[in-house]
Structure 1
């Protein structure tokens, strides 16, 4: 794997796509002054910046104060595209159909007893009694997932962005492999947490497939995209982009998918590459 200093850059860079947690953000969930300056300089040079994350739109406050011109975000692992300059207004939703969600839940309950679930709607998240509580969402309804997915539940018929499936005992990669082998025909399974927490989206929905849609709308070729990530939910995006960098702290699958490796998120690895792109300009 080539390092940040000798990995090839695109002949032309028109879009930078970056994950947030473990990638653009430091471990304390802040953006460094260096990173803010690098992204601003990229936009001044005519390069569009996309935040591409597993986070829902309501958890984008970590970057929304620093968007400047770059307000586009792909959230929930590709299930939603929002404009942070417009209060996170959804521009595109790629939902997980409720019947597919219920089928995935049934499959995981059977092969991994003890799995607990949360349901992320466009209107917010709700979860089962056994699921680790979300302190950022104190208004969540607590009920079994099957009830949450009823049209008259707290979701009130709102589209489902993704399921979250948690297991207290399985190893994270083991849980992901089990889910994909059992129910991969029903939904897309990935993970971004260091724990055994899976994220379940509609079939074919990923950071990469939604980024590809956004780039096609703009007439941007994959060869003109530079992507950054650190976890399995970034793998498809890192493989799709013309040039891509796994962070120095990345999961081995992300490293294998990327065309280069930069330094860690705490060392401003994204800014290091962006500065190199601009210098090569």
Structure 2
């Protein structure tokens, strides 16, 4: 196995310590502040050492590269972008504290997602639909590395899908902005220029996210191991379980525990280093 380590700064002393700890055969620079330790042996102290040095690490089979994959599926809120859109919409309606508390509990896996979504959307009833544009223009930002990651995925020939328990208003715009092949999300019902507090159409929940991944994978004739999925919360668990390579980005503990790769310090384009 190879051990890939990366962060905002990789201290040479830490790199040497990791190489000695894992009895690595060689140390190769992948990119500035990203290194591959080849033929490394697993060691219980690797995680603690990387945590102290603010480094992300991932164990990757030798020879595994981005070219081995054909499908990339990512979550939106707090993964591709820096906010939970529903919380920011709620802020413009004066109910952010209540909505954000429900969002946080749902992302930790403490509440059923479908029920929590219905509760949160109901609290938005009466808000002018123009508030969505304000959130997109004033508050939504791409997380670091997102643009480079999507550009390189497209260059490598992967099909890219954005699937979200959030809202089509935002996924539609990000599809145009970043060039996703497909986007799936929940549609907020609107009447007379205001949100009704209901979802129009089927709910995109954890099961639906996983289903969109498997449908696309099967349509492309890919094996499970040829898919990458990225998320941050409990409703991304089934999707990551279906993927050949699961990435937890700034994730809740429930997702971190089962991911193949955790990115807590690097940008989303750190995925490119792991699979370089």
With normalisation by structure 2, the TM-score equals: 0.51
| Aligned alpha-carbon RMSD (Å) | 3.2
Unpaired segments ≥5 residues, structure 1: 77-119, 128-136, 149-154, 164-188, 191-204
Unpaired segments ≥5 residues, structure 2: 1-45, 48-54, 84-138
Aligned counterpart, 1:257: 258
The CA distance in 1 between the partners of 2:190 and 2:234, in whole Å, is 24
The CA distance in 2 between the partners of 1:240 and 1:49, in whole Å, is 16
Q: Equivalences for 1:1-281 in 2 at 5 Å?
A: 4-8=56-60, 10=64, 12-27=68-83, 28-31=139-142, 34-68=145-179, 70-76=180-186, 124-125=188-189, 138-141=193-196, 160-162=201-203, 205-247=207-249, 249-263=250-264, 267-268=266-267, 270-277=268-275, 280=276
Larger Rg: 2
Tell me how far 1:138 sits from its aligned partner. 4.5
The CA distance in 2 between the partners of 1:52 and 1:139, in whole Å, is 25
Tell me how far 1:229 sits from its aligned partner. 0.5
Residues 1:30 and 1:61: Cα distance change in structure 2 (over 3 Å): farther
With normalisation by structure 1, the TM-score equals: 0.50
Residues 98-153 of structure 1 show CA distances to partners (whole Å, capped at 9, x for unaligned) of xxxxxxxxxxxxxxxxxxxxxx5xxx4269xxxxxxxxx942336xx8xx9xxxxx
Residues 1:33 and 1:257: Cα distance change in structure 2 (over 3 Å): closer
CA contact (8 A) 1:38 1:275 kept: no
CA contact (8 A) 1:238 1:244 kept: yes
Q: Number of residues paired by the alignment?
A: 165
Residues 1:35 and 1:139: Cα distance change in structure 2 (over 3 Å): same
Structure 1 stretches of 4+ moved >4 Å: 1-4
Residues 1:274 and 1:29: Cα distance change in structure 2 (over 3 Å): farther
